[in-house]
Structure 1
């Protein structure tokens, strides 16, 4: 089955110097570099997703440094960059058409944020019939707060990964994925 790698929103905004720093983003990006390199070395097509908000938005503002893809995981010239304005990378983009054009039949997902854009793209992909593998240690998120309860990033991340494993996706570490 032909595999594609979907790299979601590994943008400067999520780095410690950005406006929305994520817990563990540097470790996730370091793992992402390994996965992207492996994909390139083995001929797996890489699809980069970049969130972009309207100019002047508080985060991911069009044309801002924060909206740029992190240099360490920058796309090569032949790799498509799908720009999205919504949480779900399939919504109002040509991601599905790009996957079909590359004859991708299953996808591997890495990136940020686990509880938002990763969650949305995984569930949408599965709903469209794609088998999905998520590399949990190449994803990152942040602490969440709801009605005065703070959920640490590690627990929010684990809850989403557990939900994926329960009924949506295969979840692997980068080490296990690369060893397979």
Structure 2
């Protein structure tokens, strides 16, 4: 099965010193990078997705601001495909679907940030569009959230969303994804 890796919003604003810091983004980025290197080494299809906010009152991912740049931990190499998005769903008003169809992709492996927002929206959309979905859960990060006067720790937010995404595809650790793909020998284009 032809598979592509999506590396969603691993951008500087989510890291220490950034404008919208997540919980443990470096650990997630390290696992995303491990998958990215695997796809690079085996000439597998992969694409970076970069969020640029178009909201006039945006506080992060501002166009032209270094915080919107892809973080060095999952660096985008010259010549690699990149999709620019302005919504949580990486398919909405972008060329991602056309890119994946052009490659003949049937399954996507999703990594990135944030678990409760862009990872979630993209995984659900990918499933709705007919792709088999794998979410590399340890290659995703989120943050603490507030609702109804309750603070929800990032770990609980992440687990709740990963639990829900099991209805849309497989949720696995990065090393399990690599073992699965190596077993299928489908990293070749």
TM (norm. structure 1) is 0.96
Q: Is the 8 A contact 2:84 2:94 kept in 1?
A: yes
- What is the aligned partner in structure 1 of residue 179 from structure 2? 179
- What is the aligned partner in structure 1 of residue 19 from structure 2? 19
The size of the alignment, in residue pairs, is 179
- What is the aligned partner in structure 1 of residue 3 from structure 2? 3
Q: List per-residue Cα deviations over 1:102-121 (Å, max 9, x = no partner).
A: 11111000000000000000
- What is the aligned partner in structure 1 of residue 159 from structure 2? 158
Alignment of 1:58-137 (within 5 A): 58-137=59-138
- What is the aligned partner in structure 2 of residue 29 from structure 1? 29
Structure 1 100/142 Cα, relative in aligned 2: closer, same or farther at 3 Å?
Answer: same
Report the Cα distance in structure 2 between the residues aligned to 1:45 and 1:79, rounded to whole angstroms: 9
* Secondary structure of 1:13's aligned partner: helix
Q: What is the deviation of 1:72? A: 2.3
Q: What is the deviation of 1:179? A: 2.4
Q: Is the 8 A contact 1:11 1:67 kept in 2?
A: yes
* Secondary structure of 1:96's aligned partner: helix
* Secondary structure of 1:17's aligned partner: coil
Report the Cα distance in structure 1 between the residues aligned to 2:71 and 2:135, rounded to whole angstroms: 20
Structure 1 runs of 4+ with >3 Å offset: none
- Return 5+ residue gaps in structure 1 as ranges: none
Report the Cα distance in structure 1 between the residues aligned to 2:64 and 2:24, rounded to whole angstroms: 26
Report the Cα distance in structure 1 between the residues aligned to 2:141 and 2:5, rounded to whole angstroms: 17
